[in-house]
Structure 1
Amino acid sequence: MSNLAKTYQELAAELQELKIQLEEANDTIHAIRTGQVDAFIVQGEDGSQLYTLKSADHTYRIFIENMQEGAITLNRQGFILYSNSRFAELLGQPLEHVIGVPFTTFVPNDQRAAIEKVIDGSWTHNTRFELALQGAHNELLPFQLSATGLSLDDGEFLNIILTDLRAVKESERLIKAQNEELEIARKAMDLKDEFIGIASHELKTPLTSLKGYLQLMIFYKKEPVPDIVRRFIVKANESGNKLTTLVEDLLDVSKINAGKLEFRNERVDVTDLVTSVAENASVIYPDYRFVKKLTEDCKVSGNFERLEQVLMNFINNSVKYSRERKDIIMSSVKDGNEIVISVTDFGIGLTSDQQELIFERFYRVQDKNFQASGLGIGLYICAGIVKAHDGTIGVESRFGEGATFYFRVPCL
């Protein structure tokens, strides 16, 4: 009986000791949770070992204090229990004027009811919203707020991170202003395109009549026409041809802008195309030597006259900007399932900046040594024609060494 009693007493003592240890453990956990303990010692088989919480807490506090966002903690009554220095700085307030006051102190009166409702919902659900707070001088400062509710042993708290949106809002304002300016410019460009289209159509009919009458005068045989008058008529006819070309180019620009550049496709022999253009160019520019380098022939689906227009435009530019060397090379070479057709000159060439802009509408190369005429729409039209052939257009050049204009289109 005594042995049994002793065993019971030992068990009771051990149970009491376990209760004490459990209470101590609970007290320790509570102290850790509430920040009352910076370190504790654990007794193990290898002896005592020190565990510190101070370094982690210290790092966390430094992080919060040095972050670019504001950080605050509210209690259930909406008072600010904690604020980092950054939030006070963003408001332009001393830190002591921020801690201990209701958060709604910094909310405009007309928004307080709505914000209180949002904050009430943030206690149970993570919330993100935008809000303008009043600064020290009553200026409205835009913020994005991210709120998270926490339930701890000593109460409930709402942690809020506030991101300053002033730079973002300023960027949005600038982008909006730029977009408005671009829209105004686009509308102005549309009006200009519309005017070009209408004016070109209106000019085409009287120009056709004028050229017809000039042709009749040139070939008039019934009565002798003085030579000087005939020369004037020829000059007038040449000017009429130039004006007709200009009007047709403007009409092409109008069609390209409207996406209405249409033509009939056919099988085009590339060798025939390059040969025809070279022959025509030799007649127009007898002082220049046109060299053909045709490595491979192929057929393409396209419009002969339009592709001829592209190559003649390349040649016109080559002649315009290469007045010293008179050699112009025309070549075609297959590249996979495409044919690359190019015109190379040895003139003034293009800078890298000029190459980026050369196919833009109304762009003209500016060079003090060359005062070239034209509106700067020829290569823009070429780009539109090549695009309509499912092709690509480009230029390769070194300033002072000439340029190679080319386009590539699919072979049949």
Structure 2
Amino acid sequence: MKENNTNIESLLAEIASLKEQLYESNSIVDAIKDGDVDALVVNNNGVPQLYSLETADYTFRLLIEKFRQGALSISRNGLILYCNDYFSKLIGIPSEKIIGNYLHEYFNNAEHFVPVIEALKYGVTTHEILFKTQDEKKVFPAYIALTDLEPAVQGIGIVITDLTEKKKHEDALIQHQKELEEKISELNRINANLEEFIHVISHDLKEPLRKIVMYNGRIDAAYLSEADTKSMNVMKVSALRLNSLVDDLVKYSSHTAQEERTEVNLVDVISEVTDDLEIIISDKKAKIEIGQLPIVHASKVQMRQLFSNLISNAIKYGKADHPPLIQINQIESSESEIPNETHQFLKIQIKDNGIGMEKTHLIKIFTIFQRLHAKNEYSGNGIGLAICKKIMENHSGNITVESKPNEGTIFNLFFPLS
């Protein structure tokens, strides 16, 4: 009788155990149906094994794994519940050894973890963090974005973007900018030294030149032979020419500086220039025709120098049998007419009826000290047109030339529209 009771009790206990297992199985099935479970841990001979379930989330899971960014899910206290392969590669540790550890263990400064989590309360979800790797001496900068997954899921989602290459580019850019600033500073220093040098040299040269000319004039030609008189005249002319050259060099160097810009009426500027050139205009019987010209934003001093050089140049190279005719007008132009330029420009044209020049000479005339004629044919130091080019460059503009022998020359000035 006792034996039967024992068997009944054993069967009842086994039935109860089976009911409990059935209840547990039903609970798991229900959880799977509701999407609350995506993995199971099953003990097999005392060894826990993780089984992931393919659900409707499979495509999403695949996307996360293929991300070129690290992806993690952590608990509130920083326990890593999941990490994708990319994060594993970033820090050089297999994902199965990362899951179950705490996120702050991979921060270069573990104290940053609490402020990052606390910042979520105030809506601050992005940070830059330095991460350690398997090689403890090596760290990498990363941009992390956190998402609070509650109430759907108890946890926090994190996306990690490696900033190593970005930081390299930023550092290279900063270094390049620093080198550029140093070169600009050095260039400014050299320019300042050159300007100071030119002004000092001009003063030191002009003083002895002035004395040569002065004492040359005191010599009574009556006591000199014809040959000596000729030699003295050559010396005087050479000294005067050297004095003129020094003045032109100082003018050329002065246009490296950016002078104050104002609204300049070009008609007024040219009127002032023609007043200055009154004697040479009268001697050569030159005629200057001024059309409608615009107001430009420019340095008035440099504009006077520009038109003074161009007008005196046109008079100097006039034909012997024709009085110089110089026409200055604004030309309507829909295109910039400047290679590799897309900006719009005002075009001012200075046209003369002078001797003109060969096409092969056109590229030379804006070069400093470049002369196309012998000194005994035309005066000058070959600096005037170089100054014109520099003035136009100072104003972000350009100067071009068109010419044919015996047909005259046209200079085109291009001023950028504001």
Give the TM-score normalised by the residue count of structure 2: 0.60
Deviation at 1:174, TM superposition (A): 0.9
Aligned mates of 1:279, 1:221 — CA distance in 2: 29
Residues 246 and 172 (structure 1 numbering): CA distance in 2 closer, same or farther, change over 3 Å? same
Task: Give SS of 1:175's match.
Answer: helix
Q: Does 1:151 align with 2:154?
A: no
What do the CA deviations read for 1:302-332 (whole angstroms, capped 9, x no partner)? 99874352246669999xxxxxxxxx99652
The aligned counterpart of 1:106 is 106
8 Å CA contact 1:395, 1:404 repeated in 2 = yes
> Which amino acid in the other structure matches residue 332 of structure 1?
N
Q: Does 1:393 align with 2:405?
A: no
Task: Give SS of 1:156's match.
Answer: coil
> Which amino acid in the other structure matches residue 342 of structure 1?
Q
The aligned counterpart of 1:237 is 240
Deviation at 1:162, TM superposition (A): 0.6
Q: Does 1:95 align with 2:90?
A: no
> Which amino acid in the other structure matches residue 186 of structure 1?
I
Deviation at 1:163, TM superposition (A): 0.8
The aligned counterpart of 1:175 is 173
The aligned counterpart of 1:307 is 303
Aligned mates of 1:90, 1:350 — CA distance in 2: 63
- Alpha-carbon RMSD: 5.1
8 Å CA contact 1:83, 1:99 repeated in 2 = yes
Residues 136 and 176 (structure 1 numbering): CA distance in 2 closer, same or farther, change over 3 Å? same
> Which amino acid in the other structure matches residue 34 of structure 2?
I
> Which amino acid in the other structure matches residue 66 of structure 1?
K
Residues 166 and 240 (structure 1 numbering): CA distance in 2 closer, same or farther, change over 3 Å? same
The worse-fitting range, judged by mean Cα deviation, of 155-164 and 242-251 is 242-251
The aligned counterpart of 1:347 is 359
Residues 98 and 278 (structure 1 numbering): CA distance in 2 closer, same or farther, change over 3 Å? farther
8 Å CA contact 1:127, 1:148 repeated in 2 = yes
Aligned mates of 2:358, 2:326 — CA distance in 1: 9
Find 1:381's aligned residue among 391, 401, 404: 391
The aligned counterpart of 1:248 is 251
> Which amino acid in the other structure matches residue 103 of structure 2?
F
Residues 294 and 378 (structure 1 numbering): CA distance in 2 closer, same or farther, change over 3 Å? closer
Residues 186 and 316 (structure 1 numbering): CA distance in 2 closer, same or farther, change over 3 Å? farther
8 Å CA contact 1:126, 1:146 repeated in 2 = no
Aligned mates of 1:72, 1:192 — CA distance in 2: 57
The worse-fitting range, judged by mean Cα deviation, of 138-147 and 219-228 is 219-228
What do the CA deviations read for 1:54-102 (whole angstroms, capped 9, x no partner)? 55x2332222122221111112332211111111122222222322222
Task: Give SS of 1:268's match.
Answer: helix
What do the CA deviations read for 1:3-30 (whole angstroms, capped 9, x no partner)? xxxxxxxxxxxxxxxxxxxxx9xx9798
Aligned mates of 1:264, 1:213 — CA distance in 2: 40
The worse-fitting range, judged by mean Cα deviation, of 27-36 and 228-237 is 27-36
Task: Give SS of 1:216's match.
Answer: helix
> Which amino acid in the other structure matches residue 398 of structure 2?
G
8 Å CA contact 2:72, 2:157 repeated in 1 = yes
Residues 77 and 266 (structure 1 numbering): CA distance in 2 closer, same or farther, change over 3 Å? closer
Give 1:1-400 correspondences, 5 Å limit: 31-34=33-36, 54=55, 57-108=57-108, 111-122=109-120, 125-138=123-136, 139-152=138-151, 156-217=154-215, 219-220=217-218, 222-223=220-221, 224=224, 225-253=228-256, 255-256=257-258, 259=259, 268=268, 270=270, 296-298=291-293, 306-311=302-307, 331-333=328-330, 335=332, 340-342=347-349, 347-348=359-360, 379-384=389-394, 387=395, 393-395=397-399
How many percent identity over aligned positions?
Answer: 17
> Which amino acid in the other structure matches residue 247 of structure 1?
V
> Which amino acid in the other structure matches residue 79 of structure 2?
F
- Between the two proteins, the alignment pairs up a number of residues equal to 323
Note the residue ranges of structure 1 that are not aligned, 5 or more in a row: 1-23, 38-52, 319-327, 352-357, 365-371
Task: Give SS of 2:397's match.
Answer: strand
8 Å CA contact 1:270, 1:299 repeated in 2 = no
Task: Give SS of 1:78's match.
Answer: coil
Aligned mates of 2:264, 2:151 — CA distance in 1: 79
Computing the radius of gyration from Cα coordinates, the structure with the larger value is 2
8 Å CA contact 1:71, 1:162 repeated in 2 = yes
Give the TM-score normalised by the residue count of structure 1: 0.60
Aligned mates of 2:87, 2:105 — CA distance in 1: 14
